[in-house]
Amino acid sequence: MSESTETRGRKRAIDFSFEFFPPKTAEAEAGWWRSVEELAAYEPGFVSVTYGAGATSQAPTYAAVKRLVDETRLQTASHLTVVKAGKGEVDDVIRRFRDAGIRRFVALRGDPPGGIGTAYSPHPGGYANAAALVSALKAIDDFDISVSAYPEKHPESADRAADVAMLKAKAENGADRALTQFFFDNDVFEDYLNDVRRAGIVIPVVPGIMPIQNLAQLKRFAAMCGASVPAFVERRFEGLDDDPDGRFEAAADLAAEQVQDLVARGIADFHFYTMNKSKLMTAVLDRLGIKPGDTLSDAVPERMRA
């Protein structure tokens, strides 16, 4: 039996999306595109491209999503933030992206212009937060809208209740799903999800999974955005400072184990932070038994899709 006959018709039990950031140099673009082509073969539910803060930030994102729309069959979502932009400006961006073929957005407030940790003040004539942006998107067209969620609380939120209230506002305004900040402790996610459901929020909350490309960098980033890197994660990299292959294997194992544990808890949809790199991502999928061309199983129970 040939390889193609063996793999044809294979079904996978989980759905997933891949997040990219817009490449800013020709060299980065070439590397990103190789990753896109390799990961496209896994037939993700959708891919998304992040968005910087402020009006000038749209150019790299626009170029990236336009290329995805024009040259692939991937469902493509553009992230969009409201930082430093008036309502009219944001509405113009939405229409411009729609005219380029974008039907999906990840609607975000964005980080304070002074950087994470500084005080946020909305643009005087702008949308106040992501919930207002969801309404603005819905007023323009019937887009598919994802929003953020924070299992470990957003650093600016007073407490989890404030965080969940914001997610509820985004869901009530029309968000289709939430994609979470990355986390490593699945108990924390499950606890958060229980609070979300108790608050009457029924949209899918899709765990954001971060395969660890570089532990030191990740720890710095996690500290800024209020995500924790538990000791059990650090232990997996102990003694591997001079062993890049060992670190790669540890990172792939960790991410795959995290997904498998979440699947055992009834989750069947995942958002992967790819960092524009396909090698580690495909190693994770390989450990999950997912091959290029596998299609989503019809047999996935409804509970697991939510």
Catalytically active residues are 19
Q: How many chain residues bind ligand FAD (CB under 6 A)?
A: 23
163/269 with CB nearer ligand FAD = 163
Q: Does 67 bind ligand FAD (CB under 6 A)?
A: no
Q: At how many degrees (to 10) do helices 279-287 and 244-264 cross?
A: 50
Build a one-symbol-per-residue string for 118-157: x at contacts with ligand FAD by CB under 6 A, - elsewhere. --x--------xx-----------------x-----x-xx
166/252 with CB nearer ligand FAD = 166
- What sign does the CA torsion over 131, 132, 134, 139 have? positive
Site for ligand FAD in 172-191 (CB under 6 A): 179, 181
151/288 with CB nearer ligand FAD = 151
- What sign does the CA torsion over 87, 144, 103, 271 have? positive
Task: Give min distance, CB of 192 to ligand FAD, in A.
Answer: 12
Secondary structure of 252-276 in HEC code, one letter for each residue: HHHHHHHHHHHHHCCCCEEEEECCC
Per-residue CA distances from 180 to 5, 98, 207, 298 (Å): 37, 25, 5, 25
Intra-chain end-to-end CA distance of the chain, in Å: 37
Task: Give min distance, CB of 176 to ligand FAD, in A.
Answer: 13
Residue 110: count of CB within 10 angstroms of its CB: 21
Q: Does 162 bind ligand FAD (CB under 6 A)?
A: yes
Residue 8: count of CB within 10 angstroms of its CB: 10
Tell me which residues touch ligand FAD (CB under 6 A). Answer: 50-51, 53, 79, 81, 106, 108-111, 120, 129-130, 148, 154, 156-157, 162-163, 166, 179, 181, 208
